[in-house]
Chain A
Amino acid sequence: MKKILIVGATSTIANACARLWAGEGSEFFLVARDKQKLQQTCADLQARGASAVVPYTMDANDDIVLHRAMLERCLETLHCVDICLIAYGTLPDQSACEQDVELAMTEFANNGSTVIALLTSVANLMAAQHSGTLAVISSVAGDRGRPSNYVYGSAKAAVSSFCEGLRPRLFKLGVHVITIKPGFVDTPMTQGLALPAFLVAQPQAVARRIVAGIERKVAVLYVPAFWALIMFSIRALPQSLFKRLNL
């Protein structure tokens, strides 16, 4: 029975993972900003076999000072955290961000800096307990800034880089850090996008790979696996070609 903290618990990917863990009888501390959605998620996990589910309403983007109170409450409830999954984020409208500095900064904060703030606090919590896995949903978009979504991409790049550094620090303290890089997943986030069907993965399949990856203590996990190859190719494109493309 695992003790699991999820921030962004109503996101489709996090929810699909939580259902798998609930089947094992895990205990949850779930954080999300929408109280009603969070309650529905809690009831679902409870029915699916979770031994306990505690909801906590918080908008991780509002004020990073709130993070600490949330983590204190989480520790009081779970006593220790075996898995912390950070899964919140938004997919910004790239062209709107190009015209609106404030929007660009907000989106960067939502996907980048507040995640880094939260990671810093969670890292210390887990370092103190000398155990557990810290799983962060970054994105393949962070592997190279692309004209179609470089605001999102650069925020995710910040998270991925942060995790690269955090992993060796926490490894020595018995804590594992896993950077999860999903490609396109069939979720509300990608609803408005026209994407090639064969590239869109189902959340259940994505969740199975994530849960298995956390179990195996993988460092960087592309989901589905073929994205490692796609992103390798995109990173390998020479600037002379890359700047002429609209990837």
Chain B
Amino acid sequence: MSLPLSSWGQYPPEPQAAHPCVWRNGLDEQLRRVTDGHGSTLPFGNGRSYGDSCLAGSGHVLHLRPLSRFIEANWQTGEICAEAGVTLGEVLQLAVPRGWFLQVTPGTRHVTLGGALANDVHGKNHHCRGTFAHSVLRFGLHRSVQPSMVCSPTENPQWFAATIGGLGLTGIISWVSIRLRKIQSSRIETTRVRFSRLSEFFSLSAELDPLHEYSVAWIDCLATGPALGRGVITLGAHCESGTLEVPAAQAMNVPVRLPVSLVSPLMVRIFNRCYWHMQPTSRKTQTIAYSPFFYPLDGIEHWNRIYGRKGFQQFQCVLPQAVAQDVLAELLNVIARSGMGSFLAVLKRCGDIASPGLLSFPMPGTSLALDFPQNRVLSNTLLPRLDAIVHEVGGRLYPAKDAHMSARDFQRAYPAWEQLEAMRDPALMSRFWRRVTQ
């Protein structure tokens, strides 16, 4: 039997019945069988989407994580081809000792190749490398209504564009071929700089982003007044020389879902204040292993369980560059006043490299991401206010993280949605898509 699956935020609480896919050649038949039995379905990778974009409208998902074989790895050219359920962590496990790394990686290595493609994920180097789509050479797509096909920028390009960031709705991605990048060392030379107000973040980011491949900032979302938007910016680049090692797996785990959330406003206030004061006041450079740099949260397995039975929501928006600073200040003010704090508050400048994907999230500007424990105040008061601010200035929310955005906001922010709807496989439907296309 397979255990029921849920999204990473565990909200909305809609456990999904899993139909595991183990062999590529069985995919078409399995898609037909589940659709016949339950009306529609949805591919599900490793459950790292936060909201309801990975939940099937029917409650029955095709579980692609077990489909996790490598098909070919060429360590001369750095091209690897693997089934859609292979995770980025599994790719790194093989690639790093051989001197290769992902061109683009999100903040967790537990996403699958299929999931990374379907959500067109981005990382700390968006300002210089764009989204995950830029490392994708081609992939296999299985649709219920036509024979399976290979998609690349030159083969079936319309399906290539629709499937990138297509939230798994255009068909089942069976395998993905990506190009890796060469590295000389598995360690990262990282610099941290503390900043005491929001404007400083923008000047630091403007000065330092062009000099470093990776850049991301943490902010204390509860600081107010002159300290509004204080935080720390972390920059990094692959070391030019050194050893190639995969760090040992994480040691910590949250073994069970807690009955109530550990994240309370007071806890966050104390944590944020201590954390900010612990940061170096002057620029501090050190070299660290790649995993704590890219994947600090992967160090605690099942960290989402600290949010208790009700789960949590992530609010991630991107704001157009021209208005980013003022609007961020406004968003942070609203959040600080609400008292609903977040440990994780990530600020990241997005670059202007456009993705080939129809529904790709990033745009030139600044992205803000925060995790809030789920409760009524969040759903009824805070999120609608934040949404209204983002909506007004032409920003948008990230479908991969979303469990709440309105159909109106979505359709305005992603005008290509109708194209995707027209290309959607009739056998596939997510709770997210049903919500935002009505």
Chain B, residues 8-42, CB within 8 Å of chain A (1/0): the string is: 00000000000010111100000000000000000
Is B254 in the interface zone, CB < 8 Å from A? no
Are B94 and A40 interface neighbours, CB within 8 A?
Answer: no
Chain A, residues 52-88, CB within 8 Å of chain B (1/0): the string is: 0000000000000000000000000000000000000
Residue of A nearest to B2 (CB): A186
Is A105 in the interface zone, CB < 8 Å from B? no
Is A49 in the interface zone, CB < 8 Å from B? yes
Is B80 in the interface zone, CB < 8 Å from A? yes
Enumerate 16 A-B pairs (CB-CB under 8 Å) in ascending A order.
A23-B93, A37-B25, A40-B24, A41-B69, A43-B69, A43-B70, A43-B71, A44-B70, A46-B70, A47-B70, A47-B73, A47-B80, A47-B94, A186-B2, A192-B1, A195-B1
Is B274 in the interface zone, CB < 8 Å from A? no
Residue of A nearest to B81 (CB): A47
Which of A41, A47, A190, A200 has the most chain B CB atoms closer than 10 A to its own CB? A47
Are B2 and A47 interface neighbours, CB within 8 A?
Answer: no
Are B94 and A49 interface neighbours, CB within 8 A?
Answer: yes
Assembled-state Cα–Cα distance A23/B82 (Å): 16
Are B72 and A43 interface neighbours, CB within 8 A?
Answer: yes
Are B22 and A44 interface neighbours, CB within 8 A?
Answer: no
Are A200 and B3 interface neighbours, CB within 8 A?
Answer: yes
Assembled-state Cα–Cα distance A22/B172 (Å): 28
Q: Is the interface of B mostly helix, strand, loop or mixed?
A: mixed
In the A-B complex, the 6 residue pairs with the closest CB atoms: A47-B70, A44-B69, A47-B73, A195-B1, A44-B70, A193-B1
Assembled-state Cα–Cα distance A191/B69 (Å): 20
Assembled-state Cα–Cα distance A46/B80 (Å): 12
Are A40 and B1 interface neighbours, CB within 8 A?
Answer: no
Chain A, residues 150-194, CB within 8 Å of chain B (1/0): the string is: 000000000000000000000000000000000010101011111
Q: Which chain A residues lie closer than 8 Å to B2 at the CB level?
A: 186, 191
A231 smallest CB distance to B (angstroms):
20
Are B72 and A47 interface neighbours, CB within 8 A?
Answer: yes
Are B70 and A186 interface neighbours, CB within 8 A?
Answer: no
Sample of 9 more A-B contacts, CB < 8 Å, known A36-B25, A47-B70, A47-B82: A40-B69, A44-B69, A44-B71, A47-B72, A49-B94, A188-B20, A188-B22, A191-B2, A195-B1
Is A139 in the interface zone, CB < 8 Å from B? no
Is A12 in the interface zone, CB < 8 Å from B? yes
Assembled-state Cα–Cα distance A23/B72 (Å): 15
Assembled-state Cα–Cα distance A188/B26 (Å): 13
Is A48 in the interface zone, CB < 8 Å from B? yes
Assembled-state Cα–Cα distance A193/B3 (Å): 11
Chain A, residues 1-34, CB within 8 Å of chain B (1/0): the string is: 0000000000010000000000100000000000
A247 smallest CB distance to B (angstroms):
18
Assembled-state Cα–Cα distance A186/B65 (Å): 12
Q: In the complex where A48-B94, A49-B94 touch, is A200 in contact with B1 (Cβ < 8 A)?
A: yes
Q: In the complex where A191-B1, A192-B1, A200-B1 touch, is A37 in contact with B23 (Cβ < 8 A)?
A: yes
Residue of A nearest to B82 (CB): A47
Size band of the interface chain A makes with B:
20 to 34
Q: Which chain B residues lie closer than 8 Å to A47 at the CB level?
A: 70-73, 80, 82, 94
Residue of B nearest to A36 (CB): B25
Q: Which chain A residues lie closer than 8 Å to B20 at the CB level?
A: 188, 191
Q: Which chain B residues lie closer than 8 Å to A188 at the CB level?
A: 20, 22
> Which residues in window 55-73 of B have CB below 8 A to A?
66, 69-73
Residue of B nearest to A23 (CB): B93
Assembled-state Cα–Cα distance A191/B63 (Å): 12
Assembled-state Cα–Cα distance A184/B3 (Å): 12
Q: Which chain A residues lie closer than 8 Å to B73 at the CB level?
A: 47
Are A12 and B1 interface neighbours, CB within 8 A?
Answer: no
Residue of B nearest to A15 (CB): B69
Residue of B nearest to A202 (CB): B3
Chain B, residues 136-155, CB within 8 Å of chain A (1/0): the string is: 00000000000000000000
Residue among B3, B23, B25, B71 making CB contact with A186, cutoff 8 Å:
B3
Q: Which chain A residues lie closer than 8 Å to B69 at the CB level?
A: 40-41, 43-44
Q: Which chain B residues lie closer than 8 Å to A46 at the CB level?
A: 70
Assembled-state Cα–Cα distance A48/B86 (Å): 12
Is A197 in the interface zone, CB < 8 Å from B? yes
Assembled-state Cα–Cα distance A47/B24 (Å): 17
Are B70 and A197 interface neighbours, CB within 8 A?
Answer: no
Which of A191, A194, A195, A200 has the most chain B CB atoms closer than 10 A to its own CB? A191
Assembled-state Cα–Cα distance A46/B72 (Å): 8
Assembled-state Cα–Cα distance A44/B25 (Å): 15
A91 smallest CB distance to B (angstroms):
12
Which of B2, B25, B69, B71 has the most chain A CB atoms closer than 10 A to its own CB? B69
Assembled-state Cα–Cα distance A197/B4 (Å): 9
Residue of B nearest to A204 (CB): B68
Q: Which chain A residues lie closer than 8 Å to B70 at the CB level?
A: 43-44, 46-48
> Which residues in window 268-295 of B have CB below 8 A to A?
none
B373 smallest CB distance to A (angstroms):
25
B48 smallest CB distance to A (angstroms):
17
Are A12 and B22 interface neighbours, CB within 8 A?
Answer: yes
Residue of A nearest to B19 (CB): A191
Assembled-state Cα–Cα distance A45/B23 (Å): 15
Chain B, residues 213-247, CB within 8 Å of chain A (1/0): the string is: 00000000000000000000000000000000000
B1 smallest CB distance to A (angstroms):
5
